[in-house]
Chain A
Amino acid sequence: MKHHLILKVITKFMVGVIVLFGLYVQFHGDYSPGGGFQAGVIISAAFILYGIVMGLKNVQKVMPVWFAQKAAAVGVLVYALTGVFSLIFGFEFLNYHAISPEHPKHGQHYGIILVELGVGITVSFVMIAIYYSFAGRTPRLDDKEW
């Protein structure tokens, strides 16, 4: 897509908006619809859109392949460590009361945010990594080939 000027300009504008909306869905998930999974997919959609329009090389400058693949595992780690955190302080696995024993409600709130963050990180980077491994095998296409 070398000459699609309109698409490129719109994409540059939209990528920021999409990521911002993804972050809203991520961190506002306990008040409004959405949560980690939806936010992860939305954020990865922004990168995939950028990759489609600007080319795989350009998006991999922003988000290298190795980073996407490693960061996907970090999300699960964040989730599981939240559980281990409660284990250390003498509560059950993933019992968020451990985060703030005096205010169980606050503990639940923080725990949910942490856990959703883990889900979001894993989902978004897994989606990006899957897109990379598909797109990396595709030979360069002309517009006529579609």
Chain B
Amino acid sequence: MALTLNHLFAVIMLSGAFSLVSAMLFVVMDAVDVAFTEAAVGAGVSTVLMLSTMALTVRIQKEKKKPIILPIVVICLVGILLIYGTLDMPNFGAFDSPAQLHLGSKYLDITYKDMGIPNVVTGILASYRGYDTLGETVVVLTAGLGVILLLSGLKGRKNKE
């Protein structure tokens, strides 16, 4: 049913629910920080933004004349390829995976000694990788500026005319 859904409100709500479910998946996999972000951004803010976009445009997608078999085949093929790609990866939580052996364990060892804070993720993000986080913050600001310029700029021009 969801494949042929063309009521956009239902589609947006479904994608919000999907975000919430994947947030729970992240909690199960012990990535609480990512789960936090996914729940707040994916299920919360982006759903609101998509809803307001829908309010600006249309509520129901136009009926498509073409059959949707080809896209489904492409999606299945790509899905199979992705699953095939994961077969080579180490098992979830394997202690001898490359990520655990080198840098990861080093950070786990030195973070508490260097800063005395228990949350290693925060330690890496804010101190060891401070440059990157500064760049990310600038990216967020730039993205916001872009949206503000695109959407409010047009409105101002219309008002002047």
**A interface residues, Cβ below 8 angstroms from B:** 25, 29-38, 41-42, 44-45, 48, 52, 69, 72-73, 75-76, 79-80, 83, 93-94, 96, 104-105, 108-109, 111-112, 115-116, 118-119, 122-123, 125-127, 129-131, 133-139, 141, 145-146
Whether A133 contacts B137 by the Cβ 8 Å rule is no
B121 at the interface (CB under 8 A from A): yes
Inter-chain pairs besides A30-B122, A105-B114, 14 sampled, C-beta below 8 Å: A25-B36, A29-B119, A29-B122, A33-B119, A34-B36, A35-B121, A42-B40, A45-B45, A94-B134, A115-B133, A133-B150, A134-B52, A134-B53, A146-B9
Q: What CA separation (Å) do A69 and B41 show in the bound complex?
A: 19
Task: For A112, give its contact among B32, B49, B117, B141 (CB under 8 Å).
Answer: B117
- Interface size on B, as a range, is 35 or more
CA of A29 to CA of B36, assembled, Å? 12
Tell me, in angstroms, the Cα distance from A104 to B134 when the chains sit together: 21
A35-B126 in contact (CB<8A): yes
B45 touches A31 (CB 8 A): no
Q: Which residues of B contact A (CB under 8 A)?
A: 9, 32-33, 36-37, 40-41, 44-45, 48-49, 52-53, 55-56, 59, 114-119, 121-123, 125-127, 130-131, 133-134, 136-138, 140-141, 143-144, 147-148, 150-152, 155
Q: CB distance B9 to A108 under 8 Å?
A: no
Which secondary structure characterizes the binding site on chain B?
A: helix
- 3 smallest CB-CB distances across A and B, nearest first, come from A126-B144, A108-B115, A33-B32
Across-interface contacts of B134 in A (CB, < 8 A): 76, 79-80, 83, 94, 115
Total A-B contacts with CB atoms under 8 angstroms apart = 148
A112 near B155 with CB under 8 A, answer no
